[in-house]
Structure formats: structure tokens, C-alpha cells
């Protein structure tokens, strides 16, 4: 008989919006019949909400626009978020394709902008620097809705969550890809830590594959690979002309799908993306909005935060890269449930300073479940339903030991990336 905890093997993958510098953004769709101040507009394409095109809001971008004294030519939309739109553009000075993130005008300089600026000013001689999305340029765009910060970032491909869902046998990565990507993620967070930075939001939707050959394509072929832009005309309900701060067309984000993902996975090269939760250690936040299934316990307990939250999340990430699912539930998960599962899974003592709060959580009607330890749970998930199997049980035990060194309750006892990378499994 299957125990209650084995229901975790049928979980839904984390579904968290990612920054729109990858080709697979996940966004809430909205109807464009909304109102902006004093006018009402229509558009048949679902994308960013029209009411955000106002003073202090989005800049009205059109395909073909040349920005920053003609250096960047806008070719397609990649996506949008609450505080920015992101576009695929051609850097005509360096003959390469980039992601152009244009913030809303009312935004004060965001934390991720400061992070990118700091990284851009630091030496890139760390081997992990190539596995972190970088800012290559920054400029200010003055438009009808105000002054917008524009960040020029690496253009990356599909994120790992989408690849696992769409292209992988048994809903998990090939073993060599899981190992290679784990190594690169560790090198990337080691690079960030060497600069006193925590990412704060590590999960499979924020790890994206590079597609180097895109930069060899002509503009026409590049647009074809992204998918022909689908545009909807914007009109006013009263039939009058559009003001200059409203775009004439709304562009649906690219529906790009790479046709040869298996080739990319044969020798994967990744970028860690989305620095919306990133922080400097000297100015750490009181909390982070890391998705619950990969959230470090010190975040849950409201303790002091530093870049070591990334070590815990990387342990969760490695578990998912190997097995195809996170170690903890993703459906109907609450902080008390998460802590209960942490205590069950991790062979470690909860720090005394968290005990009082945990006793309060225990009083919230938690149900006792069959307890699994990390190694046995990893094997159960990996071999469940006879999915595509490449790792042996001995290899899984070695991987579980590595993950256990990252997933320690006390942040100071977690292994560093360099300590893990010295393990024979990575050699």
C-alpha cells in the first residue's frame, strides 16, 4: 500500500513567474479592455495591461524602434512584469542579440539594478561569472510617460522547469545534464557570494539555458526562430486618435520553442536569471519571497538572512534536477507544513532559537505523516513508477549526501560551493 507521503510523487511543478529575459516567461493573462486615466482602449492581444501605459508607467515600445542613439534595435517582445517590459533587441555595435529590460518610469532604482551594476563593476575572473546573467549596458530612456531605466542583459533560452516538463523522458533531466547544471549553479552562487550577494530566488524557473548559435543568425532568421510577432491594434472606444504615451500596437510575447533541446542538454550551459529578490549581505532584507518549496528555514522563522539562503535552495534545486520534483510538497503547502517536512526529511536539529516559534506552528492542526529521510525519499521518488533511470542507487546515495550538506538548519554549518565542488561526484 502506498503511504500518504508518496502522494508527493504526483506533485505539480513550481509555477512562479520569472523575469522576462528568457524565452519562456509565465505571466497572468489580462484582457485589454481596462481603463487608463480619462480614456478607454481596446486591443485583441492579451499581454501587459493597458492601464500601465500612463505617466510613471510603461514606455510605449514599437518593433523596429532604435534606442540609445540607435545602438539597440527592438525585434520582438520577450515578456512583461509589474515593473517592466522586456524585449529582444539587436546590439548593432557589437552585432549580437540582447534582452532589453525597460522599467516603469515611476520606479526608484530597483535592487536588481544595483546588483547588476555592482556585478558589472567587479572583475569577471571568477569561473562562476559566466553562469550568472550579466548586465552589459545601461541607459536612460526619456519618453511620453517619463524617464525609464533600461538594462541590457544576456539573452537566454528556455528555463529548466519548462525543459523538464516539455522535453525530458520520465519528467527529469538526463543524468549528465543534472550533474553539469548542478555544478554550474554552485559555481554561479559562489561567484555571487564572493561579491557579497545573495540571489534569494533559486529554483528551476530561474535557471535558463544559453543558445549561443542565436547570435549567428540574421535578423530575419532570428525573428523566425522566436516566432513571427503577433500584434494587436490599439484603438480608443470613442474613435479618437491615440495619445503619444499609448502604443499603437500590443505585441504578444515570443512563443519561441527550441527544436533541438536534447542537443542543448548534451552539453548544457546555463545562466542564473531573475535578480528581483537578490540582495547585498550588508543590506539584507527582513524577509524574502522565495517560493515555499525551496525557501530556507531562516526565512520561514524570520531570522537574520544572508547569501547562505542560496545554499539551502541549491540543495532543493539539485534534488529536483536529479529526480524531476522538489523535495517538499508544492500543492497547498503552508510554512508550518514545510517546517514539519523539513524536520522529517533532514537529519539535523532545529536551532533552539526557533523552537518557540515551531511550537506555535505545531499547534496549527498539522497532521502526522510517515517520516522519510532525505536519502530514502530521494530513492523513492527517483525509482517511483519505474521512470527513466540512469543513476544507480549508490550514485543517488552520494548525491543525497551532497544535498544533505547544503540543507542544514543552521546556515553556518552548510557546506560552501567550493567544498561541494571538490567532492568526487563532481570530478
- Alpha carbon distance 23, 155 (integer Å): 9
Distances (CA, A) of 170 to 104, 205, 385: 41, 19, 9
- Alpha carbon distance 285, 91 (integer Å): 35
- Alpha carbon distance 416, 420 (integer Å): 6
Cell numbers that stand for 400 in this block = 543525497
3-state SS class at 360: helix
Dihedral in degrees, nearest 10, Cα atoms 142, 147, 149, 150: -20
Residue 73, annotated ligand binder? no
Q: Radius of gyration over alpha carbons of the chain, in Å? A: 23
3-state SS class at 142: strand
Strands (E), 154-252: 197-198, 207-209, 231-233, 235-236, 249-251
Enumerate the known binding-site residues for ATP: 101
Write out the binding residues. Answer: 101
Amino acid at each position: 500500500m502506498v503511504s500518504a507521503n508518496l502522494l508527493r510523487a504526483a506533485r505539480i511543478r513550481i509555477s512562479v513567474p520569472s523575469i522576462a529575459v528568457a524565452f519562456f516567461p509565465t505571466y497572468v493573462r489580462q484582457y485589454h479592455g481596462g481603463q487608463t486615466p480619462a480614456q478607454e482602449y481596446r486591443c485583441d492581444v492579451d499581454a501587459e495591461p493597458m492601464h500601465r501605459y500612463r505617466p510613471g508607467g510603461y514606455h510605449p515600445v514599437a518593433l523596429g524602434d532604435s534606442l540609445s542613439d540607435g545602438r539597440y534595435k527592438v525585434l520582438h517582445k520577450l515578456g512583461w512584469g509589474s515593473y517592466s517590459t522586456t524585449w529582444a533587441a539587436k546590439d548593432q555595435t557589437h552585432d549580437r542579440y540582447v534582452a532589453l529590460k525597460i522599467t516603469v518610469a515611476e520606479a526608484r532604482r530597483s535592487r536588481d539594478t544595483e546588483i547588476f551594476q555592482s556585478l558589472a563593476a567587479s572583475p569577471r575572473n571568477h569561473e562562476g561569472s559566466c553562469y550568472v546573467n550579466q548586465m552589459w549596458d545601461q541607459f536612460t530612456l526619456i519618453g511620453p510617460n517619463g524617464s525609464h531605466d533600461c538594462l541590457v542583459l544576456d539573452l537566454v533560452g528556455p528555463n529548466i522547469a519548462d525543459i523538464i516538463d516539455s522535453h525530458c523522458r520520465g519528467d527529469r533531466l538526463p543524468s549528465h545534464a543534472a550533474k553539469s547544471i548542478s555544478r554550474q549553479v554552485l559555481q554561479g552562487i559562489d561567484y555571487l557570494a564572493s561579491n557579497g550577494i545573495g540571489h534569494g530566488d533559486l529554483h528551476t524557473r530561474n535557471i535558463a539555458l544559453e543558445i549561443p548559435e542565436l547570435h549567428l543568425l540574421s535578423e530575419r532568421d532570428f525573428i523566425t526562430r522566436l516566432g513571427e510577432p503577433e500584434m494587436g491594434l490599439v484603438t480608443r472606444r470613442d474613435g479618437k486618435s491615440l495619445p503619444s504615451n499609448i502604443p499603437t500596437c500590443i505585441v504578444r510575447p515570443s512563443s519561441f520553442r527550441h527544436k533541438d533541446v536534447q542537443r542543448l542538454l548534451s552539453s548544457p550551459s546555463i545562466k542564473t536569471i531573475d535578480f528581483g529578490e537578490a540582495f547585498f549581505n550588508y543590506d539584507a532584507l527582513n524577509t524574502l519571497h522565495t517560493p515555499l518549496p525551496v525557501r530556507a528555514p531562516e526565512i520561514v522563522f524570520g531570522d537574520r538572512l544572508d547569501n547562505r539562503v542560496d545554499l539551502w535552495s541549491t540543495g532543493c534545486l539539485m534534488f529536483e534536477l536529479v529526480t524531476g520534483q522538489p523535495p517538499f510538497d508544492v500543492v497547498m503547502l503552508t510554512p508550518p507544513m514545510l517546517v514539519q517536512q523539513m524536520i522529517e526529511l533532514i537529519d539535523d536539529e532545529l536551532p533552539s532559537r526557533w523552537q518557540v516559534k515551531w511550537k506555535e506552528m505545531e499547534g496549527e492542526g498539522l497532521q502526522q505523516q510517515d517520516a522519510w529521510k532525505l536519502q530514502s525519499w530521494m530513492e523513492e521518488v527517483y525509482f517511483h513508477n519505474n521512470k527513466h533511470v540512469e543513476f544507480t542507487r549508490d550514485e543517488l546515495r552520494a548525491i543525497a549526501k551532497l544535498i544533505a550538506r547544503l540543507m542544514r538548519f543552521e546556515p553556518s554549518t552548510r557546506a560552501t560551493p567550493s567544498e561541494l565542488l571538490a567532492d568526487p561526484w563532481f570530478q
